[in-house]
Amino acid sequence: DQQVKQNSPSLSVQEGRISILNCDYTNSMFDYFLWYKKYPAEGPTFLISISSIKDKNEDGRFTVFLNKSAKHLSLHIVPSQPGDSAVYFCAAHAEGSNYKLTFGKGTLLTVNP
């Protein structure tokens, strides 16, 4: 039973265009959602987060949107750069168990020059 789902294993985008990575979840107890980026042979690195009481959070080229009623969030990267090519993981946790992140399977983003 996957509580966090990333249904697109891969996404290919042209440099300069928008990348949209999607994530769905089933557990309504989740209070916080995080996006991590992972390069090969490195650990995941934190990108951006959003609280369940917000619907948008922005940090530079990265914006995360949350639709709580649809249990759906998305990460927008504008403009996309070749260095953004990596695996992106969506993760979530509840406030009372903030040590236990539940991750999706990840989406491999390739940004073509």
Partner 1 sequence: GAGVSQTPSNKVTEKGKYVELRCDPISGHTALYWYRQSLGQGPEFLIYFQGTGAADDSGLPNDRFFAVRPEGSVSTLKIQRTERGDSAVYLCASSFERGNSGANVLTFGAGSRLTVL
DSSP 49: E
Q: What is the C-alpha separation between 95 and 29, in angstroms, rounded? A: 8
Collapsed DSSP state (helix, strand, coil) of residue 82: helix
98 belongs to the binding site for partner 1 (CB under 8 A): yes
Residue of 53, 60, 69, 99 that binds partner 1 (CB under 8 A): 99
- Closest distance to partner 1 from the beta carbon of 14 (Å): 26
Contact 72, 23 (CB under 8 A): yes
Residue of 44, 80, 84, 86 that binds partner 1 (CB under 8 A): 44
59 belongs to the binding site for partner 1 (CB under 8 A): no
> Which secondary structure element, helix H or strand E, spans residue 95, and what is its range?
none
**Residues interacting with partner 1, by CB under 8 A?**
4, 6, 32-34, 36, 41-46, 49-51, 89, 91, 93, 95-106
